[in-house]
Structure 1
Amino acid sequence: MLTLYHSPMSRSSRIVTLIEELGAADTVRIVEVGIARQDGTGYRDPANPHPEGKVPALEHDGALILESIAIAQHLCELFPDAGLLPAAATPQRGKCLEWLAWYAGVIEPVVVAKFLNIDDPRFASNFRDWDTAMTRLTGALDGRDWLVGDHYTVADLIVHSLFNWMPDMLPDHHGTKAWHERIAARPAAQNTMARDRAAMEVE
């Protein structure tokens, strides 16, 4: 049995979108839980099994799997027919995993540093700065529609997830903006956004 613990307008929203993209909506049960949010709203929900009260958390036959990237890869491997993760032992699989690791290991800390106005060369030498990170993204999308191969993959979904909520941070680059528009227009992305907004209005 698969259960995803999700809170609207959070990092788990991209996993909800992924579940629909995988055609797994009838297989993965989605349980909405509360979380403590950065603006001081929300609360730590005792129904959430995540040890730090965060989301996403995926329960698979009693095993609890944490961290968006691990959950995304695991789900793609469970539902391979969707084609969102290239086949194992191929160069495309390696590139897809590269982008997932880059998002978690570079973009997450760099965007937090940007919001906190941390401007320290020691930080940048380890994680990059925002402009360097965006140069890598725009370079990958210069003349290409997708990050890996010739179709949409889980790499596009995860890397784009930041811009889904903060489109004003998108680089001023034609290819990257077109990429953003293609992903934001996908039915699964629109459905998640609509459901999350409705849920937040209820709260």
Structure 2
Amino acid sequence: MPTLYHSPMSRSSGIVTLIDELGADVEIREVTIPRQDGTGGPDPANPHPEKKVPFLVDGDETVRERGAIVLYLTDKYPEAGLGPIEGEPGRGAYLSWLFYYQGVMEPVFILHWAGLSHPAITASIRDMDTMLARLNDALEKGPYLLGEQYSAADLLCSSPFQWFSDLLPDNPKIRDWVARCADRPAVKRTLERDAAVLQPG
């Protein structure tokens, strides 16, 4: 059985939500991580080489980085229909969004949050305006990134806006998309479980 190493209210929460959406038989093991408020710390029980989450172990296979874990799990559990598998229509767009999240969206959010900007960053990684324009372009064609059907790309790419709601643009298409993604029962269940774990005793 695959095992996901997870810390509540962290980047791994979206993968817990994905496992719920997939109905996948994946063991979830909670570990501690260093947090920005100074609490927590590296957990010796976490096999991630940098003690980060999420980290997926499946037999001899290990997978890190959210986009990679999303792809691995949606390919492993294709019956849930949360990501086109090889040969299916939309596979190229699906892969593009997973890699766009990892290579563009998350760095842009972090740089914006940190107040860092430089022409070299914009030229290579892009900026918030460009990233939001790409999201808007996709959502012009349907309520979700791949059109009419929700996919794990929506789960992944909408998640930063749920953490940084102040960065939501004044764009009805993007705001409505984020709200639709956040309103899914699996998202709510993960938030409830995470909050219960973190609630003092």
Shorter-chain TM-score tier: over 0.9
- Secondary structure of 2:16's match? helix
Q: Matches of residues 1-203 of structure 1 in structure 2 within 5 Å?
A: 1-24=1-24, 27-142=25-140, 144-202=142-200
1:92 offset after TM fit, Å?
Answer: 0.2
- In the aligned structure 2, how far is the partner of 1:139 from the partner of 1:107? 15
The residue type equivalent to 2:109 in the other structure is: V
Q: Deviations over 1:107-127 (max 9, x none)?
A: 111111111211211110000
Q: Distance in 1 between matches of 2:98 and 2:61?
A: 22
Instruction: Give the aligned CA root-mean-square deviation in angstroms.
Output: 1.3
Identity of aligned residues (%): 48
| 1:139 match: secondary structure | helix
Gaps of 5+ in 1: none
Output the CA distance in 1 between the equivalents of 2:88 and 2:76.
18
Q: CA deviation at 1:40?
A: 2.0
Task: Say if 1:143 and 1:75 are closer, same or farther in 2 by CA, change over 3 A.
Answer: closer
- Aligned counterparts of 1:71 and 1:119: Cα–Cα separation in 2: 29
**Counterpart-to-counterpart distance in 2, 1:41 and 1:88:** 42
In 1, Cα distance between equivalents of 2:170 and 2:105: 18
Decide whether the 8 Å contact of 1:20 with 1:188 is kept in 2.
Answer: yes
Per-residue displacement from partner, 1:130-177 (whole Å, max 9, x unpaired)? 111111112221352000031100110100111122222111111111
* Count of aligned residue pairs for this structure pair: 201
Q: Distance in 1 between matches of 2:46 and 2:19?
A: 19
Task: Output the amino acid matched with 1:36.
Answer: P
Per the normalisation by structure 1, the TM-score is 0.94
* Contact 1:92 1:149 survives alignment (8 Å): no
Report if the CA contact (8 A) 2:75-2:85 is conserved: no
Q: Deviations over 1:77-130 (max 9, x none)?
A: 111000011131344010011011111000111111111211211110000111
**TM-score when scaled to structure 2?**
0.95
The SS at the match of 2:90 is helix
- Whether contact under 8 Å (2:9, 2:194) holds in the other structure is yes
Aligned-partner residue type, residue 58 of structure 1:
L
Q: Any idea what SS the aligned residue of 1:202 has?
A: coil
In 1, distance between residues paired with 2:140 and 2:61? 41
SS in 1 for 2:57: strand
- Whether the aligned pair in 2 keeps the contact of 1:143 and 1:175 (CA below 8 Å) is no
